[in-house]
């Protein structure tokens, strides 16, 4: 135990005296968490909390224009500006990109809609052999009520689809309502009971998949970025760890260690323990940034749930995987330059595959398959399970197992490479 504690103490002292190493291990991931959370806040809010600013030119004086205007204003999706009075002006503003969307409800749209509906109802009654009281079945209406949408050229396709879909929903509702009103009116004229007509035949209600405390949790920039960059930060210790191992080898201290009592595993356990302490400290600091610091910047507070034991277990397993990877790189490569280049690039690749920047579900099929082999993906998914889905050690167990197996694989590889180098 004396050798183990002495090795841990020695490695921690060396680490804490390496200022650039400290910056890489602690400040860089913290800065990434803050910057990425702020940058990605808007895209994550997209259709959740953020209101889309739109220009509305309502030239219609009837119910159609009023209903669309009211629906847009009541909607949580849109921030309506109705100060512009002409279609031409609205088109110019959207073309310049000052507003992303312009909605024009044409003049007399309500009147035209009413006429169209009236004719449709008359035709329906006539075809059913019911006397046409309005006498409009044979009237020909040339014009169709029109809602024009202008989109800025730099708008995202998904954004455009979302707006189109919302407007379509509003207009369909009005169409249906108008139709129903006419049918009711006609039935009343025919002395039939029309009170059983209803506005909505299908009701759509969103319900949360989670029960209890996790009921209101939702993915946002903070919930994604804090665990994502915590995983990244933990794995970025490979540069410092591998560099330290290579330095020990280059300056001969590793040879001295090999001649001192204690076997390879005692030395490695000491090193692993020291870096595991660093990883756990990193994890704690990153989570604290998410809980206490990001809300000060106007971002949502990180919600970590109540299963602290599961979070600690995950942090230990992730830390072990990262440490094992660092030891493997430090053992396999011969120079500091090789190890730092490969270490940095490989961690960035594993991070990209693991969904640190872009969620894995939006990636192409082949990349999604590859992502499953990234330890950062396992760690990140396990964090999401704990934070967003009220997961437990049991639910994240497959990820914990994968992280531990990855750690074992890296240590066994290091052991064999070390044996090859020193025989």
Backbone torsions φ then ψ of 57, nearest 5 degrees: -115, 105
Least CB distance to another protein at residue 268 (A): 14
23 is an interface residue for another protein by CB under 8 A: no
CA neighbor of 232 nearest in space, from 29, 15, 24: 29
Which stretch, 8-16, 45-53, 206-214, 290-298, contacts another protein (CB under 8 A)?
8-16
What separation in angstroms does the CA of 192 have from each of 105, 125, 134, 135, 166? 35, 13, 16, 19, 35
Q: Out of 260, 345, 369, 401, which residue is the one contacting another protein (CB under 8 A)?
A: 260
Nearer to another protein, 342 or 415 (CB): 415
Q: Can you tell me the distance from the alpha carbon of 27 to that of 46, in angstroms, rounded to the nearest whole number?
A: 29
61 is an interface residue for another protein by CB under 8 A: no
Backbone torsions φ then ψ of 179, nearest 5 degrees: -60, -50
205 is an interface residue for another protein by CB under 8 A: no
The Cβ-side half-sphere exposure at 366, using a 13 Å CA radius, reads 0
86 is an interface residue for another protein by CB under 8 A: no
Least CB distance to another protein at residue 255 (A): 6
Q: Can you tell me the distance from the alpha carbon of 270 to that of 268, in angstroms, rounded to the nearest whole number?
A: 5
What separation in angstroms does the CA of 291 have from each of 288, 298, 301, 342? 5, 12, 5, 33
Nearer to another protein, 213 or 251 (CB): 251
17 is an interface residue for another protein by CB under 8 A: yes
Report the relative pairing of strands 101-105 and 147-151 from DSSP bridges.
antiparallel
Q: At 241, is the secondary structure helix, strand, or coil? A: helix
129 is an interface residue for another protein by CB under 8 A: no
251 is an interface residue for another protein by CB under 8 A: yes
Q: Can you tell me the distance from the alpha carbon of 171 to that of 37, in angstroms, rounded to the nearest whole number?
A: 37
Q: Can you tell me the distance from the alpha carbon of 366 to that of 341, in angstroms, rounded to the nearest whole number?
A: 26
258 is an interface residue for another protein by CB under 8 A: yes
255 is an interface residue for another protein by CB under 8 A: yes
Least CB distance to another protein at residue 250 (A): 8
253 is an interface residue for another protein by CB under 8 A: yes
Least CB distance to another protein at residue 21 (A): 10
Nearer to another protein, 416 or 422 (CB): 422
Q: Out of 18, 82, 175, 181, which residue is the one contacting another protein (CB under 8 A)?
A: 18
Q: Is 42 exposed, middle or buried (0-12, 13-18, 19+ CB in 10 A)?
A: exposed
Q: At 71, is the secondary structure helix, strand, or coil? A: helix
Show the CA angle centred on residue 217, arms to residues 215 and 220, nearest 5°: 160
Tokens representing 118 are: 């009236």
Nearer to another protein, 18 or 181 (CB): 18
Nearer to another protein, 255 or 308 (CB): 255
The Cβ-side half-sphere exposure at 28, using a 13 Å CA radius, reads 15
257 is an interface residue for another protein by CB under 8 A: yes
Least CB distance to another protein at residue 239 (A): 17
14 is an interface residue for another protein by CB under 8 A: yes
423 is an interface residue for another protein by CB under 8 A: yes
261 is an interface residue for another protein by CB under 8 A: yes
Q: Cα–chain-centroid distance for residue 236?
A: 22
By CB under 8 A, the count of residues binding another protein is 24
CA neighbor of 263 nearest in space, from 7, 9, 18: 7
Which stretch, 3-11, 31-39, 160-168, 191-199, contacts another protein (CB under 8 A)?
3-11
349 is an interface residue for another protein by CB under 8 A: no
Nearer to another protein, 15 or 52 (CB): 15
Nearer to another protein, 2 or 362 (CB): 2
| Residue 319 CB contacts under 8 Å (≥ 6 apart), including other chains | 234, 275, 276, 279, 280, 283
364 is an interface residue for another protein by CB under 8 A: no
Nearer to another protein, 141 or 422 (CB): 422
CA neighbor of 291 nearest in space, from 222, 385, 224: 222
Least CB distance to another protein at residue 243 (A): 13
Question: Cβ(231)–Cβ(353) under 8 Å?
Answer: no
Judged by the rule CB under 8 A, the positions of this chain that interact with another protein are 2-3, 5-7, 9-10, 13-14, 17-18, 251-253, 255-262, 422-423
């Amino acid at each position: 135990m004396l050798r183990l504690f002495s090795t841990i103490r020695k490695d921690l002292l060396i680490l804490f005296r390496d200022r650039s190493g400290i910056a890489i291990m602690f400040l860089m991931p913290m800065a990434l968490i803050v910057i990425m959370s702020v940058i990605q806040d808007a895209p994550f809010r997209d259709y959740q909390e953020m209101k889309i600013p739109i220009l509305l030119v309502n030239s219609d004086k009837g119910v159609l224009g009023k209903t669309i205007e009211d629906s847009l204003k009541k909607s949580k999706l849109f921030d309506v500006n109705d100060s512009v009075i002409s279609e031409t002006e609205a088109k110019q503003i959207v073309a310049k990109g000052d507003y992303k969307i312009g909605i024009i409800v044409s003049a007399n749209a309500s009147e035209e809609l009413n006429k169209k509906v009236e004719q449709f109802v008359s035709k329906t009654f006539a075809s059913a052999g019911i006397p046409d009281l309005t006498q409009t079945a044979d009237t020909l209406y040339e014009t169709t009520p029109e809602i024009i949408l202008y989109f800025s050229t730099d708008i995202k396709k998904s954004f455009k689809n979302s707006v189109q879909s919302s407007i379509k929903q509003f207009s369909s509702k009005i169409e249906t309502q108008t139709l129903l009103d006419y049918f009711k009116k006609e039935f009343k004229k025919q002395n039939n009971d029309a009170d059983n007509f209803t506005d909505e035949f299908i009701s759509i209600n969103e319900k949360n998949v989670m029960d209890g405390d996790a009921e209101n949790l939702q993915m946002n920039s903070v919930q994604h970025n804090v665990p994502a960059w915590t995983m990244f930060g933990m794995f970025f210790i490979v540069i410092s760890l591998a560099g330290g191992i290579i330095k020990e080898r280059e300056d001969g201290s590793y040879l001295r260690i090999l001649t001192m009592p204690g076997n390879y595993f005692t030395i490695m356990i000491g090193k692993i323990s020291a870096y595991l302490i660093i990883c756990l400290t990193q994890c704690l600091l990153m989570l604290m940034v998410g809980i206490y610091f990001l809300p000060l910047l106007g971002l949502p507070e990180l919600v970590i749930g109540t299963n602290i034991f599961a979070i600690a277990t995950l942090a230990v397993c992730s830390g072990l995987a990262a440490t094992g990877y660092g030891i493997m790189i430090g053992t396999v490569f011969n120079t500091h330059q090789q190890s730092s280049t490969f270490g940095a690039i490989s961690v960035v690749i594993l991070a990209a595959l693991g969904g640190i920047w872009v969620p894995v579900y939006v990636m192409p099929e082949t990349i999604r398959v590859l992502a499953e082999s990234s330890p950062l993906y396992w760690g990140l998914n396990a964090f999401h399970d704990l934070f967003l889905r009220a997961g437990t050690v049991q639910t994240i167990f497959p990820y914990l197992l994968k992280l531990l197996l990855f750690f074992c694989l890296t240590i066994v590889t290091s052991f064999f490479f070390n044996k090859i180098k020193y025989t």
